[in-house]
Amino acid sequence: MPEKFADFPATALAWRKTNGGIAIPVPEMDEGIAAAMVCHPSKAKDMKPIALPTERVPQWQARAVEKLRELLTKYRGLSVYLDICAQCGACSDKCQFYLGTGDPNNMPVARANLLRKVYRYYFKRAERFLGGDAEPFNEQVLKEWYTYFYQCSECRRCSVFCPYGIDTAEITMAAREIMAAIGVATKYVTEVVAKVYERGNNLGIPAPAWIDNCQFLEEELKTETGKDIRMPVDEVGADVLLVMPSADNFANTDTMMAYGKLFYALGMSWTTSTYCNEGGNFGLFLNYQNMKKVNKRILDAARDLKVKRVIWGECGHAWRAAIYTNTLNGPMDFLDPPHPVHICQFTADLIKRGAFKIDKSANDDLLITYHDPCNAARAGSLLEEPRAMIRATCNKFVEMPRNTIREKTFCCGAGGGLLTDEIMPIRMAGGKPRAEACRSTGANYLAVPCAICKAQLPELMKHWKVDVKVGGVHDLLSRAMIL
Amino acid sequence: MTDAAMIWNLLAALIIGLGYLAAFVFVGGLLLRIALYIKTPVPLKIVQTPGPKSAPGVLARIAGDVLIFPNLFQADKLLWLGAWIFHACLFLILVRHTRYFLYPVPELVIDWQTISVYAGFFFPIPALYLFWRRLASSRVLYISGLPDYITLILLTAIASTGMLVHYFARVYLVDVKAFTLGLVTFAPVPPPQHPIFIAHFLLVCALLIWFPFSKLMHAGGIFFSPTRNQIDNVLYPRYVNKWNEEVRVD
Ligand code: SF4
Ligand code: SF4
Ligand code: SF4
């Protein structure tokens, strides 16, 4: 891992606890310090299957402006937000990527201004005339866009502090969609989407390996519990299709086994699908078309397998995309309502109704704290259910400082398509606030219902030397459940 | 007619013309902009969660945003205070000014007269604070552009000339009312021959013309922010995107 991020100022600042919150130190501005942190560009072999130009299109400037014009007529949010920002700066110290790097282009308003100045140049001549910052879309601007719109995890934290609710994530999404249209995207995001079309999941796990892993987990469960707990694959007619992040299949296996135990305890039939063994949706980080197409696979799988419900597994951005399902590819009325359903909602509800025998003391070796995945909290209204689950399964639960949780949660630093190694310094710097908030609790278990967080947080905590184990929320239930 | 009188008549006609132009640009521009916002679809449910679960809840959220700036309060207490006082003063000043355009003058406006005048006096203080802040904070300085300064200067200049004509270089009120009522009844008469009053009037015209093209549109746009004006009901009923069908995925 490169040690470069010692350059970023967050390392030097002091973090203090204050009454119920934590004092979040704001670094001095350091122009351009993060400018070299760019994602690898996409490869033609990935762009092709996801219907994007394999190289920069001819007349890309004009094409980009045309795309911006199109998006302005399609997204009210974009149109309003580009107009009304008062440049008040209230959001300027709210983004974890500014807090971590001190690069002014990581202030939400400045990030948005990168698009706003192009908007002004072509569509707002009056402001341009009065000396507002305006620039034609050119190579330099494109470079800034590519750098800083891929240093935004689309986490929406800024919107919570903006007097008009201006969501810089919407602006980032628009900029990425424009770039995609002219053939500019990152290797990581496009690769993931291409893998979904080829193999059914973000990680590119082939069907035989998926089945293999499931059988392996069944054996594990047999050793652990002595019971025949199934990890069904492609079972037509099951009650539930579970679409979890594919990483649960071989990285976060405790979470995956917890799902198995859960359905076993309920006596409910469920299945995963090798056509669509992914709840996540990287189309969300790229463009509307791919988001819709990735999302459609879930409903197609549900139809093919003739299930009654689809449940989304522990994942933040998957849930943000899931709540669009009915809009993108609905109506979902061939399924039992309510839909869509997140596994935490499903489980929390059942716990409340006393569906499980739980021995909380099984988790007494843990002091648990909870990380709100930004997408779950600020875009998916999923705040109470995971907490209810933790309270029902553990005796020792401690919240992180109040200005770092719930709708004010800090992103783990790797959402929005940033979970890629070449920008590790950005990930570590951006995750610093989360790491410090976690440290301040003294917890030894960090519960989080999100696969990207589960990949990022262990590295993050190791980097900032916070001694905590990262795991799922269902893992806790699994430990406490008496079968 | 003497030369001076001729020039004055010409000037008066110009001022009146400019007044109408400003009003036209302001109303037309504002309506066009808002029509554009209304016409532009909101494809997805991007409500900022946790949010209101019902329509009255949404109304309360928007009312809160307009009246007390809760997000700003969370973000920066001093800025919140400065911005809130700034807007409260503006509001009181606006209310007071309706007396020049309405006949008879509404009761409320008369009741609020004293405090509104104080608001006018006080206004430069929060305005100066906001201006100072733009220069003093390196982050805000970085994002501030010429239009941001111009807007603040313009508003302060309007308030100051207003206070001058109200207190120090008094303009004859009957003349002012004759002029403003003349404008709104489309039977214009020349403005009072008072340079500061005329400056005040012209600056207001400039502000009105500037309004629809600038960030001042936040006054209208705040009602159309999808993160704040949607209901937090992600599950039901189905939310429809008008242009979803056009996006082919097969
Ligand atoms: S959406 Fe998140 S990452 Fe992006 S600018 Fe806002 S706070 Fe920063
Ligand atoms: S808080 Fe909102 S209005 Fe203020 S600068 Fe940020 S985006 Fe613009
Ligand atoms: S990985 Fe987790 S915290 Fe980070 S963007 Fe996703 S949901 Fe947010």
Whether A120 and A149 share a structural domain:
yes
Same domain as A209, residue A181: no
- HSE-CB at A302 with a 13 A cutoff on CA atoms is 27
Checking if the pLDDT of B154 tops 50, the result is yes
* Nearest residue, CB atoms, A126 vs list B42, B213, B234: B213
Which tens digits make up the pLDDT trace of A130-149? 888 999 999 999 999 999 99
* pLDDT tens-digit readout, B81-91: 999 999 999 99
Using a CB-CB distance cutoff of 8 angstroms, which residues of chain A are in contact with residue B210? 126, 130
Classify residue B246: in a domain, yes or no.
no
Q: Which residue in the block uniquely carries the two structure tokens 């300085």?
A: B141
Contacts of B241 in chain A (CB under 8 A): 327-328
Chain CA centroid to CA B3, Å: 39
Q: Is residue B250 part of a domain?
A: no
Q: Judge if the beta carbon of residue A83 lies within 6 A of ligand 2.
A: no
Domain that includes residue A41, residue range: 9-188
Please tell me the distance from the alpha carbon of residue A137 to that of residue A61, in angstroms, as a whole number.
6
The predicted pLDDT at position A262 comes to 96
Identify whether A1 is part of a domain: no
**Same domain assignment for residues A318 and A367:** no
> What Cα–Cα distance (Å) separates residue A19 from each residue in A22, A157, B72?
8, 22, 20
**HSE-up (13 A, CA, CB side) for residue A60:** 17
**Chain B touched by A77 (CB under 8 Å):** yes
DSSP assignment letter at B182: H
Contact present, B175 and B129 (Cβ < 8 Å): no
Q: Domain count for chain B, please give it.
A: 1
My answer on whether A249 and A142 are in the same domain is no
pLDDT, residue B249, reads 87
Average pLDDT over residues B185-209: 95
Q: Which residues from chain A sit within 8 angstroms of residue B214, using beta carbons?
A: 126-127, 130
- DSSP state, residue A41: B
**Cα of A305 to nearest chain B Cα, Å:** 20
Q: How confident is the model at residue A13, as a pLDDT? A: 67
Question: How many CB atoms neighbour CB A311 within 10 A?
Answer: 25
Q: Residue A1 has what pLDDT?
A: 41
pLDDT in tens, B89-102: 999 999 999 999 88
Q: Which residues line ligand 3 (CB under 6 A)?
A: A 153, 155, 316-317, 373-375, 411-412, 414-416, 450, 452-453
| pLDDT score at A337 | 83
Residue A294 lies in a domain: yes
- ∠ CA A129-A133-A135, rounded to 5°: 95
Supply the pLDDT for residue A16: 79
d(CA B82, CA A164): 17
In a domain, B241, yes or no: no
Average pLDDT over residues B110-132: 93
Decide: pTM greater than 0.90. Answer: yes
* Band (B104; pLDDT cuts 50, 70, 90): confident
Task: Report residue B236's pLDDT band, with 50, 70 and 90 as the boundaries.
Answer: confident
Task: Return the best residue to mutate from A375, A378, A406 for the ligand 3 pocket (most ligand atoms within 8 A of CB).
Answer: A375
Closest ligand 2 atom to Cα of B143: 5
Where residue B219 sits, what CATH number does that domain have? 1.20.950.20
Residue B66 placed within a domain: yes
Q: Which residues of chain A have pLDDT under 50?
A: 1-2
The answer for residues whose C-beta is within 8 angstroms of residue A308's C-beta and 6 or more apart is A239, A240, A335, A336
Alpha helix ranges (H) inside A308-407? 316-322, 325-329, 343-352, 374, 384-393
Residue B3: its pLDDT value, please? 86
Residue A445 is part of a domain; what is its CATH number?
A: 3.40.50
In the sheet with A240-243, reading across from the earlier edge strand, the strands are A270-271, A240-243, A309-312, A341-342
The answer on A364 and A342 residing in a single domain is no
pLDDT score recorded for residue A7? 61
CA pair distance A138, B178, nearest whole angstrom: 55
Q: Give the closest ligand to the alpha carbon of residue B75.
A: 2
The predicted pLDDT at position A4 comes to 54
Cα atoms found within 13 Å of the Cα of residue A163, Cβ hemisphere only: 25
Same domain, A92 and A169: yes
User: Does A197 reside within a domain?
Assistant: no
- Note whether A301 and A273 are same-domain residues: yes
For B189, the domain range is 17-41+51-224
Indicate whether B174 pLDDT > 90. Answer: no
Q: Is residue B2 part of a domain?
A: no
